Structure 1
Amino acid sequence: MSFFKNQFANVVEWLEFRDDMIFYKWSNREIKKGSKLIIRPGQDAVFFKNGKIEGIFRDEGEYDIESQIIPFLSTLKGFKFGFNSGMRVEVLFVNTKEFIVKWGTQNAINIPSLGLPGGLPIRANGTFHFKVNDYIALIDEIAGVREQYLVEDVKIRITAVLDQLLMKWIPREGKDMFNLQANSFDISKGIKEDLDMQMMKSGISITGFNVMSFSYPKEIQDMITKNASHGMVSDVNRYQQISLTEGMATGRMSGGGAASDMAGMVMGMNIAGKMMNQMNQQAPNQPVSVEKAEPSLPRTDGQKGPNFCPNCGNKTEGANFCSNCGQKLV
């Protein structure tokens, strides 16, 4: 029985296919006469021996290795299976799809900024896309010493250099450090090119890189929001009045006891004072509307009115209406 043990044909395939696995290496086994190769959708099968690629097979299906595969191998095309011998060769199954990975800075990155000696601390997140495009480089750099390679392995390599690339490209493209989102396209483009150059030697191509959002510390974000509010209102005095009104309306100013009540009263008086000043400043420019008084006619009922107007004190001389203010003299 032991004489025939090694004569059993085997099937060369990627049994435990995973969406997050970049490649799987079928190795350290001898391919026997009558063995089959199975290539599933989204896979390429790369035959290599001693680090040299013998052949690449891309079409899905089931193949007889002796008749359909060996004739296309570079240096093994004349290989003949013996009665008790097989072919020693490694087969690398490569996942051909494009992988999409989310990334995010683990810690805040201090970007040099004028007025901030320690730099502006920001965080960022987004996605990057990659796929395998060079099997020779992949085998030389990674597959030659590893049995499998996962998306997480690539993510670790990317995030290890991402902080430095963000520090490189944000000051270059982000003219307004408080509105980095406006420059996210150019920042992303620069980082993608640098990452692609670094991963190219491993046979991996970075096909896309995106910065989805930047975030600032709460104190800086509050400052940005307040500045935006000032810009929308365009008048600081009016902004203060609106803020105070909203605070009184929503009750955010209540609940502070006597000090809070006093503060509210003082601010209310300030608003009233400002409103009166504005009215006084506008008054000289406003046309004054004065009702036309009826003509001051002498009384005909024989009754004599007061000699002086009780309203303005003007001398009336017994008329029906005051010639100065129009007050009816009854």
Structure 2
Amino acid sequence: MGLFGGQLSNVVEWEEYRDDVIFWKWNNSEIKRGSKLIIRQGQDAIFMYNGKVEGIFTEEGSFDIESDIIPFLSTLKGFKFGFNSGMRAEVLFINTKEFTINWGTKNAINIPAHGLPGGMPIRAFGNFNCKVNDQAVLIEKIAGIKKQFTVDEIKERVIAALNQLLMKWIMKCGKDMFHLQSDAYEIARGICEDLDMEMCKIGIGITGFFIESFSYPEEIQKLAEKAASQSMVTDTAKYTQIAMADGMQNENKGTNMALDMAGLQMGMMMGQQMVNQMQSQTGHNSSGKVELNTDTNKAVPNFCPNCGAKTNGTNFCSNCGTKLI
């Protein structure tokens, strides 16, 4: 201990672990004799020397650097710690988990549409999954000049390419400009493939891409809702009544409940009137039983003189309602 008293050992670890960080670089001045490497679950540790990868360690646990790590390094496997000097190396910790990142278009994308010279302005929202799939490329393209790399930086790169990809795949897979949600799966699958090819250039793989919704300008959305409501009303007279009711409701917003109650009462009255009328025409009494002819002085014809239906001895024709006697 006295021989190496002036030499303090290190603990090489990624202690302040963050879910939004893809990699973090430990780069103290040097690694001392007796230092340990700690790899936690969901991490890989990569030793680098003079900007080159010396060894990649994926097994979690605590390791003695001199005995467990150095013998497996490419050019440092024979390294011996000096009296007062340590090993000058960097250790890159990589987060190996899969990330889920929300995305949304910053501005509306004008998709070419028939009859719209400026195109149809559309926004879209969703999320995508990604993870590190090529550590060597990530180190070469990104890690060499950065201390850490975050999810937000991945998101910026994806969104920068997203507008063109959305336009490409909406035009290719979108069968109906007003019902893009029904084609969202095919559009998202195409975008995922293209986006994965683009992001693999920096060692990141896109493992999933999802579109939660498309949104249209407010004016177009209102027109679509109005068209949908009108398509449910096939009778012109009924549509006129609904339009009049809507107008009354707009003019008397403070009396909506009173209008609803009055409408309910009117409906009940009209229903009762219809029941009474049907009873008077078909010869039904309030108990629902059929009234038979009890006047023996008048004979009921076997068949209705108006429609020819069989009478079954009732005072009124059950088919057309004609009075028989």
Q: TM-score, normalization: structure 2? A: 0.74
Structure 2 counterpart of 1:118: 118
1:158/1:195 contact within 8 Å kept:
yes
Q: Find the aligned partners of 1:8 and 1:242 in 2 and give their Cα distance.
A: 89
Alignment pair present for 1:240 and 2:239: yes
Structure 1 counterpart of 2:301: none
How much is the aligned-residue C-alpha RMSD, in angstroms?
2.2
Alignment pair present for 1:85 and 2:117: no
Alignment pair present for 1:291 and 2:289: no
Alignment pair present for 1:251 and 2:249: yes
Unaligned regions of 5+ residues in structure 1, if any? 256-285, 295-330
Structure 1 counterpart of 2:263: none
Alignment of 1:103-182 (within 5 A): 103-182=103-182
Alignment of 1:90-101 (within 5 A): 90-101=90-101
Q: Find the aligned partners of 1:74 and 1:223 in 2 and give their Cα distance.
A: 68
1:230/1:239 contact within 8 Å kept:
no
Q: Percent identity?
A: 58
Letter of the 2:201 partner, please give it.
Answer: K
Alignment of 1:6-17 (within 5 A): 7-17=7-17
Letter of the 2:133 partner, please give it.
Answer: N
Q: Find the aligned partners of 1:238 and 1:66 in 2 and give their Cα distance.
A: 90
Q: Find the aligned partners of 1:8 and 1:85 in 2 and give their Cα distance.
A: 10
Q: Find the aligned partners of 2:67 and 2:16 in 1 and give their Cα distance.
A: 26
Q: Find the aligned partners of 1:123 and 1:175 in 2 and give their Cα distance.
A: 17
SS in 1 for 2:202: coil
Structure 1 counterpart of 2:204: 204
2:71/2:77 contact within 8 Å kept:
yes
Flag the 1:160–1:112 CA change in 2: closer, same or farther, 3 A.
Answer: same
Q: Find the aligned partners of 1:16 and 1:4 in 2 and give their Cα distance.
A: 29
Flag the 1:6–1:88 CA change in 2: closer, same or farther, 3 A.
Answer: farther
Structure 2 counterpart of 1:186: 186
Q: Find the aligned partners of 2:4 and 2:71 in 1 and give their Cα distance.
A: 26
Q: Find the aligned partners of 2:29 and 2:162 in 1 and give their Cα distance.
A: 40
SS in 2 for 1:118: strand
Structure 1 counterpart of 2:33: 33
- Could you give the per-residue CA deviations for residues 26-79 of structure 1, whole angstroms, max 9, x where no partner exists? 125211111110111111101122332211111111110000001111221111
Letter of the 1:33 partner, please give it.
Answer: R
SS in 2 for 1:30: coil
Q: TM-score, normalization: structure 1? A: 0.73
Unaligned regions of 5+ residues in structure 2, if any? 254-305, 308-319
**How far 1:176 sits from its partner (Å)?**
0.2
Letter of the 1:89 partner, please give it.
Answer: A
**How far 1:161 sits from its partner (Å)?**
1.3
Aligned length: 259
Letter of the 1:240 partner, please give it.
Answer: Y
SS in 2 for 1:88: coil
**How far 1:148 sits from its partner (Å)?**
0.4
SS in 2 for 1:136: helix
